[in-house]
Amino acid sequence: MGKRILVVGGVAGGAGAAVKARRTSEDAEIVVFERTPYVSWANCGLPYYIGGVIPRREELFVVSPRRLASRFNIDVRTRHEVTAIDRARKAISVRDLETGDAQEERYDALVLATGSKPAHPPIPGLDGPAVFTLVSVEDADRLQAFLEERKPGRAVVIGGGFIGLETAEALLERGFSVALVEMMDHLLPPVDREMAEPLAMHLREKGARVLLGEKVAEVAQNGNKAAVRLASGDAVECDFVVSAVGVAPRLNLARQAGLTIGQAGGVVVNDRMQTSDPDIYAAGDICQIRHLVTGKPVRVPLAGPANKQARVAGANAAGGDMRYAGSLGTMVVKVCDLTIAKAGLSEREARDEGIPHYVSYTHSQHHAGYYPGARMMAIKLVVDRFTGRVLGAQIVGGAGVDKRIDVIATAIHARMTVEDLEDLDLSYAPPYSSAKDPANIAGFVAANIHRGEVDAIEPDELEALLEREDVQLVDVRTPAERKAGEIPGARLMPLDQLRELAGELDPHKRTVVYCAVGYRSYLAYKILKQRGFDDMSHLAGGFDAWKMFHGKPQII
């Protein structure tokens, strides 16, 4: 008989580890304990079920206990809660939630995949009957029953992260009046503020009320009506509330067992997913793992890393030797007609880490502009100032965002530079891309900065510069473009007339040129630089990037 492997928890971490353990060892005895009635289900699909995109509840279930038993010879015990771990005796205490019976189970190897639970900040009224979370199947069932029975019309979603954004979209799709409250100054806090600004604008265009920089003080309920009271004194009336303020790892078992908990707030594991007890492995949201850019420990509660960690933990628990390198935290979120994605470090994170860096902005159509249906996307790269290594990327746009973030995430994982990115040989046909793919264009622009071919100033830096210095600001767009908006104080000199008009400028005065997205201002920079302008820059990302900093982005 092979090893006895016990797995605590299902879903991505637990079920994935159990199946990988079986593929590694046909002789092992594998038992999975899951406290809910479901062993493997798509928690990422819950907002889409609420929104009706996934019409049938059954489609959320990835694999059943019966399938795990018949195909993989895995003993699955749902509605069983593991209450304690005795490391010295290599045993766990288990309670049957249906009968109340308790038993002890011995193990040779133990895998912990207890996952996350909804965060519950100390807000009065947040546990009221009209307040819902959306992390489990039970959460979705409760919310769906409420919506069908009560027929409410007004919702407040607290939290502008993944679940909050997807839930807001789902409720808008069902015709609800939606208010979204986020305590930070922008939605989706992991990304930089200007990249998230299009999300807020788009949700408002879709009819949502988006309240940023607002902290919830209380959720009050009076009969079938509720109100979310804000610290600012405002109150948003509604019929129900969805709390999506984040998740917290379920660490009770790990703490009870005396396993080491790290500075990032997760169970410490090595690259074999072993905890501080070599016979206990962990996977998923409870772990802290290595960030592939900084090398520091982080928690990344995402399904992709959880699945990869589960394969490693399951294989090694069964006698294999797999390694997990770490994560970039690559993410992508759909918000109505927009998509936003991130990989690696944001500019804020690079700054907090003290990494010398610069950023670039590009605006590109997701496929050839002459082919019908082209949609714009904005790409922001964060680059190591000295080596040119790509440290991070953020993209927001109408289509094609997922493809480009995956390309750039691969480049970051491989420690590529912006010069590598500009050289990538990517596929092209008019329905799919352009001969110069948006990822390549991002590389072109960032590599030009790295090689010193152009000096680029970021939109927020330009704003500070204009406040403290007398700057010669030149708009090289057309008069028609200027009518739609301009940076105050700019002098209009269309690019095609710049050679004739350049004599009107002082070549020794601080000069900044800008256009719509940065290409024409790059050309203007080259023209003026070769005419003796010795103190000049062009605006990274152009006027479109400037608008992202000033609440008027136009991405779609």
Alpha helices in 206-341 (DSSP H): 252-256, 303-317
- Name the residue among 219, 75, 52, 70 with its Cα closest to residue 143: 52
What CATH number belongs to 456-549?
3.40.250.10
> Tens digits of per-residue pLDDT, 353-379?
999 999 999 999 999 999 999 999 999
User: Where are the CATH 3.40.250.10 domain residues in the chain?
Assistant: 456-549
- Name the residue among 544, 548, 551 with its Cα closest to residue 210: 551
According to the model, what pLDDT value does residue 382 have? 98
| CATH superfamily membership of 337-450 | FAD/NAD(P)-binding domain (3.50.50.60)
For residue 327, the 8-state DSSP code is B
Q: How many CB atoms lie within 10 A of CB 125?
A: 18
> Tens digits of per-residue pLDDT, 456-486?
999 989 989 998 989 999 999 999 999 989 9
Query: Is 44 designated active site?
Result: yes
Per-residue pLDDT at 146 exceeds 90: yes
Burial of 222 per CB tally in 10 Å (0-12, 13-18, 19+): exposed
> Tens digits of per-residue pLDDT, 293-321?
999 999 999 999 999 999 999 999 999 99
What CATH number belongs to 131-245?
3.50.50.60
Residue 555 banded pLDDT, cuts 50, 70, 90: low
Q: Which residues contact 478 (CB under 8 A, 6 or more apart)?
A: 494
Quick one: CA dihedral 282, 284, 287, 290, positive or negative? positive
Name the average pLDDT for the chain. 95
According to the model, what pLDDT value does residue 99 have? 96
Per-residue pLDDT at 48 exceeds 70: yes
Q: What is the distance between the alpha carbons of residues 347 and 293, in angstroms, rounded to a whole number?
A: 13
Per the CB < 8 A criterion, the answer to whether 440 and 381 are in contact is: no
User: Topology of 4-117+248-317 in CATH?
Assistant: FAD/NAD(P)-binding domain (3.50.50)
Q: Which residues contact 500 (CB under 8 A, 6 or more apart)?
A: none
Q: Which helix (H) or strand (E) holds 19?
A: helix 11-24
According to the model, what pLDDT value does residue 1 have? 67
**pTM for the whole thing?**
0.93
Q: Which amino acid is at 447?
A: A
User: Where are the CATH 3.50.50.60 domain residues in the chain?
Assistant: 4-117+248-317, 131-245, 337-450
Per the CB < 8 A criterion, the answer to whether 393 and 405 are in contact is: yes
According to the model, what pLDDT value does residue 169 have? 97
Report the chain's C-alpha Rg in angstroms.
Answer: 27
Alpha helices in 339-392 (DSSP H): 347-352
> Tens digits of per-residue pLDDT, 57-116?
999 988 888 999 999 999 999 999 999 999 999 999 999 999 999 999 999 999 999 999
Residue 554 banded pLDDT, cuts 50, 70, 90: low
Per the CB < 8 A criterion, the answer to whether 77 and 33 are in contact is: yes
